[in-house]
A and B are shown apart, each in its own frame.
Chain A
Amino acid sequence: MGIMDQFLQQLINGISLGSIYALIALGYTMVYGIIKLINFAHGDIYMVGAYIGFFCITIMNWPVLPALLVSMLLTGILGMLIERFAYRPLRSAPRISVLITAIGVSFFLEYTMMYFVTPQPRTFPSLLDDAAYHIGPFIINNQQIMIFAITIILMAILTYIVQYTKVGKAMRAVSFDTETAQLMGINSNRIISVTFGIGSALAAAAGVLVGIYYNSIDPLMGIMPGLKAFVAAVLGGIGILPGAAAGGIILGIIEALVSGFISSTFRDAAAFAILILVLLFKPSGLLGKNTNEKV
């Protein structure tokens, strides 16, 4: 395989991985945009989504699509419950308290899950045959096609919700200025709850897709992707939806290229190095605007 072929192949792998990051990053960025919280538990919500999908498929013997939808639904509800009981009581507390609470929720999800399902990784059944297609110079397998398709559909739905529905407009209003939005009669608690729900559902989808793609899930699987997704969100400009999607894809591609051409052990370092470069030279992210404190 020539360098060029290898490059193209890593590009496909990168976009697959990046799609996963993008789905998680969307939830991160929505939550950050609306309540300025780095929700460290978001990666673990993705893990819970993967497990729900896993049990739907193995125990209930459901096909992929219903499993995916049920996982998204249940995980979305979980996200709303977490917001309701862990974050809402702290709405006026110092931000560090909420951040620490998020870390607490993260540990709780990880280890409670571990208590019930054991720390052993589970093998996700392979639902699709491994057929690969040659499209021009690219080789794409079934799993990747599915990841692309589902990611694109979900992003389209999200865009529709945020841009054209009443809830979406309210979300943007609350994100821009919570107090003013409330004065305009928007129930900000409800909107924040919906935001958590949607974000968590997207993470659950990513969880199920990762299970199908890598065939393995475990209770701590959310830690790194969660962090990477946050990096992706910052990369694109935190609080900006297209930024999170673009950041996720870019991060995925970079990681795939670093694994393919340098060494897979440096792929995490590459992600963080990029994060730091972006923060130093354009802290507001690739698509963000700079703001200064008024004196």
Chain B
Amino acid sequence: MSSLRKTDLKAIVISLIVFAVLQGLISSEALDPFWQLNIIVICINIIMSVSLNLINGYTGQFSLGHAGFMAIGAYTGAVLSVNFHMPFIVGLITAFVTAAIIGCLIGLPTMRLSGDYLAIATLGLGEIIRIVIMNVNYVGGAAGFMGIPKSTNFAWAFFVMLFVVFFIKNYVNSSFGRACVAIRENEIAAEAMGVNTTKYKVLAFTVGAGFAGVAGCLFAHTFYIVHPSSFTFLSSFNYLIMVVMGGMGSITGSIAGAFILTTISALLSDWPELRMSIYAVVLIALMFYRPQGLFGNIEITSLPIFKRFKGGK
């Protein structure tokens, strides 16, 4: 099982190479500012989709309120930077903690619900979070919160994303993750195996919410402003679509889903209406021809080609 650690090390080395290449492209200005920004957005969206996958894909609890937790993190981070002049890392950690606490408070009562009821309840709670923020003048109300320092650069976004991906990958490959998957597969049998289903559902929801908060904090410090309209249920749909497109229960899939959708969206940004129509058609086509998503529940590390590439197990 020490091969587990070896796999991790290899993956980290590969990630560092990817980072070095991308950072090189950015520093040498081979990438124009538009794409520099979009690479950061991709990292943020990967955090959102991977953390949502923990809740929706692995634990099978249908959440449609992920953008609400992102909003909490974004505003927490913004307030700490602007009003309290805290260092960025403090903002990120506090964003995690705040979003996780609120996620836990929301998760405790709602995780008793299942299926569509849970979906619609989380959607409603996400909207409530947004509307409450919109009515708090201290954070700018409906006009948005302005003057946030642009602390998020590519390095921050990339390494935070890397941390989150590893955290969640290891989460799902532990007894915690197995408990989640057991709940998804058969809740009654999971209880019969001694899995406290409420506890593990709420835990997954809490951790997922916390990381959405981290993504929100990165997001707030990418643009000069945060605005409640960035966190409607339509953005939650967007993250859900990334997860489903990549494959529920595949981290590789969530990363791919976030990458592809963000890229498409950036490429078509000059034609806003057409972009959404195309997006819709692609989405429907995907559900018709590959409903399990691009990766199903397969990870890239378990594909034969990757194993050979890494010299076997």
Contacts and interface: CB of A to CB of B under 8 A. Distances in A.
B125 interface: yes
A234 B117 contact: yes
Given A101-B283, A105-B284, A111 B276 contact: yes
Interface in B120-135: 120-121, 123-125, 127-128, 131-132, 134-135
A110 B276 CA distance: 9
Interface stretch (A57-65, A90-98, A127-135): A90-98
A273 interface: yes
A111 B131 contact: no
A272 B120 CA distance: 9
B311 interface: no
Contact of B124 (A97, A105, A238, A276): A276
A100 interface: yes
A38 B291 contact: no
Contacts of A256: none
A283 interface: yes
Contact of B283 (A107, A119, A275): A107
Given A265-B134, A266-B131, A280-B109, A115 B121 contact: no
Interface stretch (B13-21, B91-99, B196-204, B234-242): B234-242
A279 interface: yes
A279 B121 contact: yes
B158 to A, nearest CB: 29
A266 B136 CA distance: 12
B276 A231 contact: no
B305 interface: no
Contact of B280 (A32, A105, A266, A272): A105
Contacts of B125: 272, 276
Contacts of B275: 111
Contacts, number: 115
A1 interface: no
Contacts of B161: none
A109 to B, nearest CB: 8
A115 to B, nearest CB: 4
| Residue among B134, B240, B277 having the largest count of chain A Cβ atoms under 10 Å | B277
B113 A272 contact: no
Interface string A88-127: 0110011011101101111110111011000100000000
B283 A104 contact: yes
Interface in B209-262: 233-234, 237, 240-241, 244, 248
24 contacts: A93-B291, A96-B62, A101-B288, A104-B283, A104-B287, A107-B283, A111-B277, A115-B277, A223-B234, A231-B124, A234-B117, A266-B131, A268-B127, A272-B127, A272-B131, A273-B128, A275-B120, A276-B128, A279-B110, A279-B113, A279-B120, A279-B121, A280-B109, A283-B117
Interface of B: 62, 109-110, 112-113, 116-117, 119-121, 123-125, 127-128, 131-132, 134-135, 142, 188, 233-234, 237, 240-241, 244, 248, 273-277, 279-281, 283-284, 287-288, 291
